[in-house]
């Protein structure tokens, strides 16, 4: 049991650092996209620095954390195979698959921006930035409550949270449009 708790602790540490990377990388994407619209030489100076910052965050923190998080999760499931058969864990694993898909999409966006290919608006990235937040809420509630039976309440709560986040983004856009320095 002591080994299990050490593995669980390492898993949680890497969950936290992985999410830290996933929370910050879209912010850097936003800054990069907005820097791309600036005049020279500001555009080149900012994009060069943002590429470096993004590359370091992505390859030094986010990717290693994702790999180690999944490694320790698989080890935990190996030590407690009965967990896989619990409905709440199956729903949680579904959200983990969604998080991995989100991670890979972030990697695609990262690669495009590294090649100076801007395919998304900064407003899209502000909305995209909330994806990891919604997944985090779902997973934390599933793990703490260990209930997939009340998943309807959870889904409604996540939808409500999503609506509140979207309203917050729209409010911030209005404030920013009135005061570009905000």
Place of tokens 């800054």: 31
CB 148 within 8 A of CB 88: yes
Query: Does 11 show up as a binding residue in the annotation?
Result: yes
Place of tokens 């709440």: 88
Specify the DSSP class assigned to residue 146.
Answer: -
CA distances from 35 to 42, 47, 109, 110 (A): 8, 6, 16, 15
CA distances from 81 to 53, 73, 84 (A): 40, 11, 6
Structure token digits, residue 85: 């058969």
CA distances from 137 to 92, 125, 162 (A): 11, 19, 11
Nearest-angstrom CA–CA distance, 48 and 4:
44
Q: Using alpha carbons only, what angle is made at residue 161 by residues 179 and 12, rounded to the nearest 5 degrees?
A: 105
**Residues of each annotated binding site for heme:** 11, 92
**Residues of each annotated binding site:** 11, 92
């Amino acid at each position: 049991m002591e080994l299990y708790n050490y593995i669980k602790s390492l898993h949680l540490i890497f969950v936290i650092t992985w999410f830290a990377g996933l929370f910050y990388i879209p912010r850097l994407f936003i800054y990069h996209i907005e820097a791309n619209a600036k005049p020279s030489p500001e555009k080149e100076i900012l994009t060069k620095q943002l590429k470096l910052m993004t590359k370091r965050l992505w390859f030094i923190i986010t990717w290693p954390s994702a790999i180690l998080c999944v490694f320790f999760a698989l080890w935990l499931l190996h030590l407690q195979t009965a967990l896989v058969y619990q409905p709440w864990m199956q729903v949680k694993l579904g959200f983990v698959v969604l998080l991995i898909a989100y991670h890979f999409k972030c990697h695609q966006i990262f690669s495009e921006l590294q090649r100076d290919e801007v395919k998304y608006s900064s407003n899209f990235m502000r909305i995209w930035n909330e994806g990891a937040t919604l997944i985090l809420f779902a997973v934390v509630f599933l793990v703490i409550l260990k209930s997939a039976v009340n998943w309807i309440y959870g889904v409604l709560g996540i939808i409500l949270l999503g609506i509140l986040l979207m309203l917050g983004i729209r409010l911030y856009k209005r404030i920013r449009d009135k005061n570009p320095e905000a």
